Structure 1
Amino acid sequence: MTGTTRVPPTEITGLYGGLVKMMSRKMLGQVPDSLGVMWHNPVVLKDMMTLGRKVEKWDRLDPNLASLANMAAAATVGCSFCLDLHYFMAHNDGLDEEKAREVPRWRESSLYTPLERRVMEFAEAMSQTPPAVTDELCAVLLAELGAPALLELGAKVGFMNASARTNIALGIHSAEFSTACGLPPLATPAPAGVASQV
């Protein structure tokens, strides 16, 4: 990824920079270029990381559903960094790797339950511009998940959109976290025009 970002990475320095690099190596096994890009404004990096950690701690939505929603949002927006990171995180968190791997082509895959499909449909619809979430879909998810989990789903997808769109705008691409830990490559969607199941 070096040299492909729209803002060149800078050296991560200082005490806080050392902590950021140490945490990154512990959690990801590397210090991705994206941290060097974001290091141009450490306050923004710190606040986004803090908010991201808080979002990850929310617990009203099943972790597998949250992971699928995050990945579906990232796939819809087109953030390879987010897709790769969340696939890697699904592996590290003991979530269903096979389902995580198939998210980019979830409509063509037979792996998902009806609830999982609705959660990914919500994430996909919310990630479109303008958002395309319907009253009917919300009503079904409200009945299935309850208000607290549906609210969390919306907020998680919103945060993923903010992160993914920032990464895309800055030219931040996949850091190949999943490849480094030996995960099979993410599935790719069928070409446009191929029938898919809903």
Structure 2
Amino acid sequence: MSRTTQSARIPTGEVDGLFGAVVKVMSRRMFGKVPESMGVMWHHKDVLKASMGYGRKVEKWDAVDKDVVAYAAMATAAYIGCSWCLDFHYFLSHHKGLDETKAREVPRWRESTLFSPVERRAMEYAEAMSQTPVAVTDELSAALLEDLGPAGLVELTARVGFMNATARGNVAMGIHSEEFADACGLPPLSAPSARAATVTSVA
């Protein structure tokens, strides 16, 4: 992940108070620092708490293999262009015991030979959902329904939807990568491939 000196479009606030003390301890334990993005969101703590709370609930869902949903979330972030989200989820892959070699290949998943057919369909679905208008096809949905079952497809859809909300918000506010992955010695993410004008089926 290349270094960036860009600052967010919203100035950071001071992370203070009792809740702030807890957030600082947790952030330093996990990242070694308090992320700049935390200071941006601190201007509206109710939004921050709601986002963190929902994010924790999302992580407890287990209808889909953790690798599949992790790669789908990263593919969403890569497609939208949220460097913070992509770096953060690459960092999480290290701590969740996922295949780091595959995780770093997500930005160029279409060219990579490392992913299974199900993982590729999940990432295609993530990109198709992230387009405007949404470009999910009946064929792709049917293939994933067979792969994951009804509950699994609902979960995958909800996870991609949540990542869209987070990623698009970060991009709008100018929140960029803070090199979490660099901090734990992970090699740089692969360079993303050129975004296709339309989604080509890999089902």
What TM-score does the superposition give when structure 1 sets the normalisation length? Answer: 0.94
Q: Does 1:6 align with 2:9?
A: yes
Pair 1:87 & 2:90 matched: yes
Aligned to 1:97: 100
Match of 2:39 among 11, 14, 36: 36
Q: CA deviation at 1:189?
A: 2.4
Q: Is the contact between residue 108 and residue 189 of structure 1 (CA under 8 Å) also seen in structure 2?
A: no
Task: Note if contact 2:124-2:201 (Cα within 8 Å) is conserved in structure 1.
Answer: no
Give the counterpart letter for 1:170 in structure 2.
M
Q: Which one of 156, 160, 175 corresponds to residue 153 of structure 1?
A: 156
Residue in 2 aligned with 1:110? 113
**Distance change in 2, residues 1:45/1:68 (3 Å):** same
Q: Which 4+ stretches in 1 moved above 4 angstroms? A: none
Equivalent in 69, 90, 103 of residue 72 of structure 2 = 69
* 1:18-37 per-position Cα deviation (integer Å, ceiling 9, x unaligned): 11111112222221100000
- Decide which of 137, 142, 153 is 1:139's aligned counterpart: 142
SS of 1:40 mapped into structure 2? helix
Contact 2:79–2:195, Cα closer than 8 Å, also in 1: no
- In 2, the alpha carbon distance for the partners of 1:58 and 1:77 equals 23
Contact 1:108–1:197 (8 Å) recurs in 2: no
Task: Rate the CA distance shift 1:29–1:40 in 2: closer, same or farther, 3 A.
Answer: same
Q: What is residue 178 of structure 1 aligned with on the other side?
A: 181
Kindly indicate whether residue 122 of structure 2 is the aligned counterpart of residue 122 of structure 1: no
User: Which runs of 5 or more structure 2 residues have no equivalent in the other structure?
Assistant: none
Residue identity in the other structure for 1:99: K
Instruction: Give the distance between the partners of 1:71 and 1:40, measured in 2 at CA.
Output: 27
Aligned CA distance change for structure 1 residues 191 and 162 (closer, same or farther; 3 Å): closer
Match in the other structure for 1:47: 50
Give the equivalent residue in structure 2 for 1:15. Answer: 18
Q: Distance in 1 between matches of 2:6 and 2:186?
A: 26
Three-state SS of the structure 2 residue aligned to 1:41 is helix
Q: Residues 158 and 62 (structure 1 numbering): CA distance in 2 closer, same or farther, change over 3 Å?
A: same
**In 1: Cα distance, 2:55 partner to 2:102 partner:** 23
Rate the CA distance shift 1:83–1:3 in 2: closer, same or farther, 3 A: closer
Aligned residue pairs total: 196
For the aligned residues, what is the CA RMSD?
1.7
Unaligned runs of 5+ in 1: none
User: Which SS does the other structure have where 1:39 is aligned?
Assistant: helix
Instruction: Measure how far apart 1:77 and its partner are.
Output: 0.5
Question: Per-residue deviation at 1:95?
Answer: 0.4
CA distance 1:148–1:88, shift in 2 (3 Å): same
> Structure 2: which amino acid aligns with 1:182?
G
Q: Deviations over 1:133-172 (max 9, x none)?
A: 1111010100111011110000000000000001000000
